[in-house]
Amino acid sequence: MITGKRHGDLANKIAEEIKAQRRISVGIDPPPPVIKALAGYQPLDVMYRRRLEGGTVIVGRPTFKEFMAGTKRGWTEGLEKIDREETLARELESDGRFDEAEEPSQIDVATLDGEPIPTPSKLPSGKGIYSPLQIQRPPPSQRGSELIPAEKNIPPTAIPELPPLLFVPFTNLIGFTQIPLMMWDFFNQRHKVQSGSEAAYRLIMRQTRPIIPPPSSPFTELQDPDATASQSVDQHGGDLDFDKEAEAYFKSSLSSTVADIEKAREAYYVALPAKLDTARALSRLTREPTKDELSFPPPTEVELSAERMKKELRWRGDTDGWELVRREKGVVWDDRFATSMRVFEDPTSEESDLLITSKPG
């Protein structure tokens, strides 16, 4: 079971899993030693065929959107291993949020033997020689970045067959206005039982069909590499409309998710300079800590930097995740999915009769 605590987690996990499989299949990485040590270990091609005998259960439309987005990223992106925290750290280093404003030069400068005496304002900042913030990261060219041969880093022209999908509708009733529906739902659990039983029956009968693509697919990056900048690959129609009616029950307040994140980011950066001033003043002993600061020490500059990294990772992850599942967003589509994806469907009456007549007794 693949789960995620926040929007976007599922898409990221699926994309990384697919890219890890691609790296093994082209010989960049060896199979994990832990898997080889298992008693039931089999070659990768055998394990892949066994996966095709199973399937993937998709519960609800948001899950479907993240699954499709993660699958597309996994089969179209490069195979380089990217450290999100390191990439973000390099970006945050250059935005100047932790830089100190230079004080204007004074007219009267004290000198000693003809050399100016460094005043506290001219001494090095809290980023001292032993401060972690002073340790500069080596440039990307000196970090031993992974070099992958171009012929191994090309996305495949055809996506191999994927385990068939089992669609299970799910409506998440949240919010004060949904209380009447929650009460009705509580006393009518038979509808959920019926839906789950029908899904399990489709899984047992194992009758599948090709996924129904959207009626008109735009050019994808496979056909026109320059088209992705101007044309969206999000689509509606066909099987991509699975459980679309459940989006009508989204809380109206969710529409302001991105705006709320931006508001929280702005408030944080408004308060950050004062926190930095306090941290630097206490570290340089330019003032004595107050009674409250002695009881509850304020965060240091290093701790503020770590806190900022954590907040930016969450803000950006939540924004990207919400962009995947919001109501107005379609489902990510690639024309290659039409030949690689299959969907479990209701069995025909002939197969159902065969199951009943072949039952023992």
Tell me how far apart the alpha carbons of residues 349 and 248 are, in angstroms, rounded to a whole number: 34
- Which is it for strands 56-59 and 165-168: parallel, antiparallel or unpaired? parallel
Q: Where are the domains of the chain?
A: 9-81+160-249+330-357, 86-144+257-317
Summarize pLDDT for 17-43 with one digit per residue, the tens: 999 989 988 888 887 776 666 656 667
Confidence category of residue 196, pLDDT binned at 50, 70, 90? confident
pLDDT in tens, 323-352: 999 988 999 999 999 999 999 999 886 655
Contact 342, 165 (CB under 8 A): yes
pLDDT in tens, 271-305: 999 999 999 999 999 989 999 999 999 999 999 99
Of the candidates 243, 224, 259, 254, the residue with the CA atom closest to the CA atom of residue 334: 224
CA dihedral sign, ordered 213, 217, 223, 224: negative
Residue 21 burial by Cβ neighbours in a 10 Å radius (0-12, 13-18, 19+): middle
Neighbours of 65 (CB within 10 A): 25
From 233, 239, 227, 216, select the one nearest 329 (Cα to Cα).
Answer: 233
Dist CA 4 CA 329 (whole Å): 19
Three-state SS letters, 82-132: CCHHHHHHHHHHCCCCCCCCCCCCCCCCCEECCEECCCCCCCCCCCCCCCH
End-to-end CA distance of the chain: 36
Q: How many residues does the chain have?
A: 361
For residue range 54-104, list pLDDT tens digits in order: 899 999 999 999 999 999 999 999 898 888 889 899 998 888 888 887 655
pTM of the complete model beyond 0.85: no
Q: Give me the residues paired with residue 332 across strands.
A: 234
